[in-house]
């Protein structure tokens, strides 16, 4: 018998300092509470770089999907 476990509802709040989300139950931000100001700048740069690379990856998936669509059209005709 297949059973389904619902994903736990994760309450999060946004950190004022690093703009990341962290669990509501945590007293301090799990991302930046232990970081100094210079380390925080590095963290923000890393987050920005990761966001940029995931956008590029998303674009590649879009191109790939469009390409597959065209191939499917060509096969059907």
Kindly tell me which residue out of 7, 10, 12, 18 binds Zn ion, with binding defined by CB under 5 A: 18
At a CB cut-off of 8 Å and minimum separation 6, what does 30 contact? 22, 23
Asked if 35 touches Zn ion (CB under 5 A), the answer is no
Determine, following the binding rule CB under 5 A, whether residue 15 of this chain makes contact with Zn ion: yes
17 binds Zn ion (CB under 5 A): yes
- The verdict on 47 binding Zn ion (CB under 5 A) reads no
| Residues within the interface to Zn ion (CB under 5 A) | 15, 17-18, 29, 31-32
């Amino acid at each position: 018998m297949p059973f389904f476990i619902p994903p736990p509802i994760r309450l999060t709040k946004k950190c004022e300092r690093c703009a990341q989300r962290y669990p509501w139950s945590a007293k301090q931000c799990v991302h930046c509470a232990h970081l100094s100001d210079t380390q925080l700048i590095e963290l923000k740069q890393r987050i920005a770089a990761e966001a940029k690379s995931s956008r590029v990856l998303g674009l590649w998936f879009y191109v790939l999907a469009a390409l597959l669509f065209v191939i499917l059209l060509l096969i059907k005709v």
